[in-house]
Each structure stands twice: as structure tokens, then as C-alpha cells.
Structure 1
């Protein structure tokens, strides 16, 4: 893959966002959360123009670089010329969230086996693990309406997300928002772990549930989510070092 670097074309702030978002795509691939070339992670570019960065459609997540990310407007039109296509249908969910949540920079959506499996369970996220307490402190549900390519679904999705950090897309997968790319990744890591733990626990004996006083309590678990996921900032440098040891090409 050969694409000209955009490092000297865009602002330093946008370039750093590109590097972080490309790293996030690589980490999603590394942790096995990708769905071939499908699903998206988007990030709002700083400034009043309402421009966004999204993956070049057709590239595997472990191929994505800072320069290959496509810059688009709210209607999914390219702002900077790119040889790669974008997926307008895939941006419907992301554009809906960005439109409603100006407090958030990054929107991350996955179709993992564990996430889809739990999204299909009537009980949804169960209060059975410490990880689930973090998720339950800021969680919404959105019913499945078929493949998300219709704009008329946006208001319902926006209402179901509300001010939450985590959203279960019923029969579909998981979605999180973050004030930074790092925060979004940290929230998805908790969300995905919650689903994996739940499925593993359900394969065993009777489950022990805890009550809403746990995730509604004004303690570290609730504050962790309500504060915007400070864990993202803390763990991000270590995750980038991990990527650099494997392949630093995401920075290109």
C-alpha cells in the first residue's frame, strides 16, 4: 500500500488525531475485534467544519495508517481527495452519534462474537462482574431495525444513546463514545470484556447478581465512567508502545 503522507498537509492537531485513530484500528485488529473490513471507528476533526476521519473502505484494520484515513463531512463527502472509497451506509450510525454528542470526539462500533451474542440476549448486560458495573453505570439499548442505512433511524438511535457512554445495538453489536480515541478504546475494552465474561459465566453454574446500588453508587466504579474514562489516558501510551514493538507503520 503506497499513499502520500498527509503529515505536512493537515494541522498538527489533526495529524495527532489521525495517528491515534490509526492506532485504534490496529489495536482492534490485534485484539481480534474486527469484522474483516466492516464496522467503523470515527473521530471528529477539531474545528467548526464538522469534519470526520473514518477508515478507507476495503482495507483491513491492520493496514490502516494515519494518512490513509479518509476525511469526510457530515454527508460523507470526501474533504481531502483519497484513492480509497468510504462506506456511506456504515456512516449512518456514526453520523447520528456525532450529530447528537458534540461532547464526544470518537465513536467506536464493533461486531464481535461476544458482543453480538450478548446483544441478542433478552437480559442484556448482566450485573455479574466488576467490568459490568463500569458498563451498567452508563449504558443504553437500541432495538434492531435492520441494516443501518436509513436516516430515519437516527433520531431513535440518538434517543436511546442519550448521554450514555456504552450502547448495546440489539442483535447487532456494541458501540461506545469517547472524548478521546483513547477513552473510546478503554470503554470498548471494558464492554467487550464484560460480554466475554458473561458468556463464560453462563456456561457454568448459577450466576450471582449484584444490585443497582453497586453501579449507581458514587464510588470509583461509577465515577470511572462518569468522569469520561480516565483509564484511557493512563493506558494509551503503553498500548502505543505495544503497537510500536509490533509495527509502527500506523504512524505513516
Structure 2
């Protein structure tokens, strides 16, 4: 992937881009605080609004080589759908992140944000023959929201894109079999709320199955729980309150992501 050496000048930056950079950099620090890191791997991306891009499809991604605790608003890379770095630092783009995220940002208009993790619980459930099962409070809030995509190896081949999109359909919580978790949403906080719920569902399933058989939740109850859950609903903040609380916690620990 091509890179440029010039970092963005905040004084010349569109305020919508600055806001997106701050929110995304904060999110990387939230992930680090929660332990949702995999060395220098995995990605969180946001598609920049047309007010910034003039109609071009561009998004922000983490520099490949930095730990999440090193990501800041200014060192995030702005790239196009071909992987060209339009603004950023000396670090490259990880092809494994660009390929999947670019596919989703390009073809799914509602996918403003995409998050991907390799947490132990997430990968463990992704490796189970039966995947995520309807047995706990959190799975019951994801009724008919979870998609599965079969493992095809390291995600660096563009020809996997159409198959990935077909697997996802319109479901915002995705289990990449033998691989990990992915979520997408209309806003970053909404995407975080979806991924957090999916992650908790996997953690509890892993703990439950280690002790024996689980009590199933009926389809009717799960459907009702998903309807009654408000954390994904734009009319109720779509996860904003929860995400903001975590950002305040990050700020008390280390607010260097704002640079």
C-alpha cells in the first residue's frame, strides 16, 4: 500500500474529519482498555462523510505497526477504496484489514463503521461447529442479527469480497468462522454496542459450556428480547451513552489519543 509522509494539519482539517478522528482514536483506546487487542493486528474503521470527501469513498484505519494504545487522532490513516493512503504517517496499511473493510464500506451504504476482533471468546465460538447458541441473556438480544462467513484463509484476496457480502446480508453481527468477530453499524457507538453484545454472548457461552449443558432460550423469547433491547436503536442513543462513559474512563487514564 502506498503511504505519504505528511500527517494531517488539524488547523486545515474539516471539522467533521477531526470529529471522526477523535472518536475513532478514542475507540482504539477503549478496545485496549477492554483487552480487545491482538498485538498490532485487527482494525476499526469509519467511512468519512461526504462533507469531508466531496462524494468520494474514503475511510480512516489504524496504521499497521502501532499498538492500539499508540493510535492517535493525527496518526490514523485516511485511505481510498484502492488502499492508497491520502493522508497519514510513515506506517503502511495492513492488507488483511483493508480488503475486508473496503469491501464493506464500498458496498453497504449503512456501514459507517466496521470493527473486527480476535478475542479468545470470539475466536473460540467462531471455531465451534454450532457457533453461537441461543442460551444466554446476550444471545437473546441478537435474534436474527448474526451472520456467519466460512473461513477462506487470511483475508487479503479481493475475490472473497462478494462472498463475504453475501454471507453478511443485512445482519450487523458477524462470526467469521475459525477466525473472529466483526460488527458494522450506522455509527461508531452503535457498532460498538453490537460488538460488545456479541462479545459478551461469546464469553458467557464459553464459560457456560465449560461447566456442562446450557438451558436453551426459546425462539419466541429471543425474538421478544431483541425487540425490547434498546441499545442498538437510534431513537435511544444507539449505544452512545455506553460508549461515552468508556471514553470518559479512557480520558482519566490517558488522553493522548487526542493528539
From 6, 9, 12, the counterpart of 2:12: 9
Q: Which residue of 1 aligns with 2:3?
A: none
- Once residues 22 and 236 of structure 1 are traced to their aligned partners in structure 2, the CA distance between those partners, rounded to angstroms, is 13
Q: So what's the TM-score if we normalise by structure 1?
A: 0.93
User: 1:53·1:69 contact (CA, 8 Å) conserved in 2?
Assistant: yes
Q: So what's the TM-score if we normalise by structure 2?
A: 0.91
Q: Which residue of 2 aligns with 1:57?
A: 64
Deviation digits for residues 135-176 of structure 1 (CA, Å, limit 9, x no counterpart):
233110000011111111100100111111100000000000
Aligned length: 249
- Once residues 36 and 110 of structure 1 are traced to their aligned partners in structure 2, the CA distance between those partners, rounded to angstroms, is 11
From 15, 20, 23, the counterpart of 2:23: 20
Q: Which residue of 2 aligns with 1:112?
A: 119
Give the root-mean-square deviation of aligned CA atoms. Answer: 1.8
- SS, match of residue 115 in structure 1: helix
Q: Which residue of 1 aligns with 2:208?
A: 201
Deviation digits for residues 56-113 of structure 1 (CA, Å, limit 9, x no counterpart):
1100001100000000000010111422211123211111111221112100000111
Deviation digits for residues 189-238 of structure 1 (CA, Å, limit 9, x no counterpart):
111111110000001132100122223237313x6546598441121221
TM-superposed CA distance for 1:7, in Å, is 2.1
User: 2:232·2:238 contact (CA, 8 Å) conserved in 1?
Assistant: no
Which structure 1 residue ranges, 4+ long, deviate > 3 Å from structure 2? 3-6, 223-231
- Once residues 179 and 197 of structure 2 are traced to their aligned partners in structure 1, the CA distance between those partners, rounded to angstroms, is 18
- Once residues 31 and 83 of structure 1 are traced to their aligned partners in structure 2, the CA distance between those partners, rounded to angstroms, is 28
- Once residues 178 and 16 of structure 1 are traced to their aligned partners in structure 2, the CA distance between those partners, rounded to angstroms, is 17
User: 2:27·2:247 contact (CA, 8 Å) conserved in 1?
Assistant: no
Change (3 A) 1:228 1:192: farther
Pair 1:36 & 2:43 matched: no
- Once residues 62 and 119 of structure 2 are traced to their aligned partners in structure 1, the CA distance between those partners, rounded to angstroms, is 18
From 228, 231, 245, the counterpart of 1:220: 228
Pair 1:90 & 2:97 matched: yes
Change (3 A) 1:69 1:171: same
